[in-house]
Chain A
Amino acid sequence: MNEIDSEYQDVLDQLSVLAPGVGDEPSPAKMALTQVTQRTHAQKRNPIDEFIRSISDTMNKRVLALGATAVLAIALLVGFPSVRAAAGDFLGLFRVEKFAPISVSPPAASHA
């Protein structure tokens, strides 16, 4: 070892029990490479999967960035009194201010 590991050499020694033992050696590299290559070819043959994977990697970041920008923009706009008043007027369209009770009886309902 190039560096002095004396402070934690005991821990490194303890971790050495995790090293591959007899029978734990990996498959020959050539065989493993063949399997990986087959999988890369299989992925290439399915362009839809390839497309979904490629966009999903970039989409997550873009969606998050867009969402954060939209929230920030709305927060800033609502800070202006005129925009806040306009938003209040707009929401007022959906607010129930007057209502009148109507009576419904079973005979009236059957005529309808």
Chain B
Amino acid sequence: MRQDLTALSDSILMDRLAGGDEVSFDTLFYRHYDRVYGILFRLVGTRAEAEDLTQEVFLKLHDHAARHRSHGDDNISAWLYRVATNLGYNAIRNRQRRWQRDVVLVPDSEMPGAEQEVARRQEVAAVREALARMKARDAQLLILRQMDFSYAECAAICGVAPGSVGTLLARAAESFRTAYVEVAGRGEER
């Protein structure tokens, strides 16, 4: 009879994957797919790019399994989401360097609610640009918290002490407000 792998921990699944059990990889994939995609979509903003990066994250997980040596307390999900936030953050930083940040697709003006849609897209672009201007860890913490990751999860993913997450989030929020005001102010000057 086929064993139900969904009850197994990530670490055990990684051990099994390291031993060549590809079905364990499928279980890990189904378990984390939505959240990894959610992080990446929030950072890069397009379905195609988020899906590509999601694939990259899971390919890295597969490679990681080959070198995985269980220590019992491995936090595989923290590793996975750390890779996802790093890839997503690097993507928006690179985009900012290539001066593509100002591209906002404008809907047909005949379309009902076109003005609101333009305003929404500009707001999304400004929020994303503000994130790209922040330190990586600050941006990652805010995105993770916005997705309802717990303080403990945020701490494990960002590699900080659990007790400092609240303070770091407050500082990150302040940093975001400053960056957003700069970006929005520049937009109004045009």
Chain A residues with CB under 8 Å of chain B are: 1-3, 5, 7-8, 10-12, 14-20, 23-27, 29, 32-33, 35-37, 39-40, 43, 53-54, 57
Residues of A within 8 A of B189 (CB): none
Question: Which residues on the A side are within 8 Å of B81 (C-beta)?
Answer: none
A8 touches B173 (CB 8 A): yes
Contact check: which of B55, B59, B123, B145 meets A17 at CB < 8 Å?
Answer: B123
Q: Chain A residues near B33: list those with CB within 8 A.
A: 26, 29, 32-33
Contact between B55 and A36, CB atoms less than 8 A apart: yes
Residue in contact with B47 in the complex, picked from A1, A3, A12, A26, CB distance below 8 Å: A26
A-B contact pairs, 14 of them (CB 8 A): A2-B150, A3-B151, A7-B169, A10-B173, A14-B127, A14-B180, A15-B176, A17-B120, A18-B43, A19-B38, A19-B42, A26-B51, A29-B30, A32-B29
The 6 closest A-B pairs by CB, nearest first: A8-B173, A18-B42, A11-B173, A26-B37, A15-B146, A29-B33
List residues of chain B with CB within 8 A of the CB of A29: 29-30, 33-34
Q: Please tell me if the beta carbons of B41 and A24 are within 8 angstroms of each other in the complex.
A: yes
- B93 sits at the interface (CB 8 A): no
Please tell me which one of the listed residues A8, A33, A35, A53 contacts residue B26 in the complex, with CB atoms under 8 A apart: A33
Which residues on the A side are within 8 Å of B177 (C-beta)? Answer: 11
Whole-angstrom CA separation of A16 from B123 in the bound complex: 11
Which of A5, A35, A54 is close to B55, meaning CB atoms less than 8 Å apart?
A35
- CB <8 Å contact, A33 and B30: yes
Q: Which residues of A contact B169 (CB under 8 A)?
A: 5, 7-8
Specify the main secondary structure of chain B where it touches its partner: helix
Mask, B172-190, CB within 8 Å of A = 1, is 1110110010000000000
Chain B contacts for A53, CB-based, 8 A: 63
Check if A18 sits within 8 Å of B142, measured CB to CB: no
* Nearest Cβ on chain A to B128's Cβ, whole angstroms: 7
Q: Is B50 an interface residue (CB 8 A)?
A: yes
Closest to B154 in A: A3
A18-B124, A18-B127, A29-B29 known; A12 vs B51 contact (CB < 8 Å): no
Given contacts A17-B120, A18-B124, contact A32 B146 (CB under 8 A): no
Is B106 an interface residue, CB under 8 A from the partner?
no
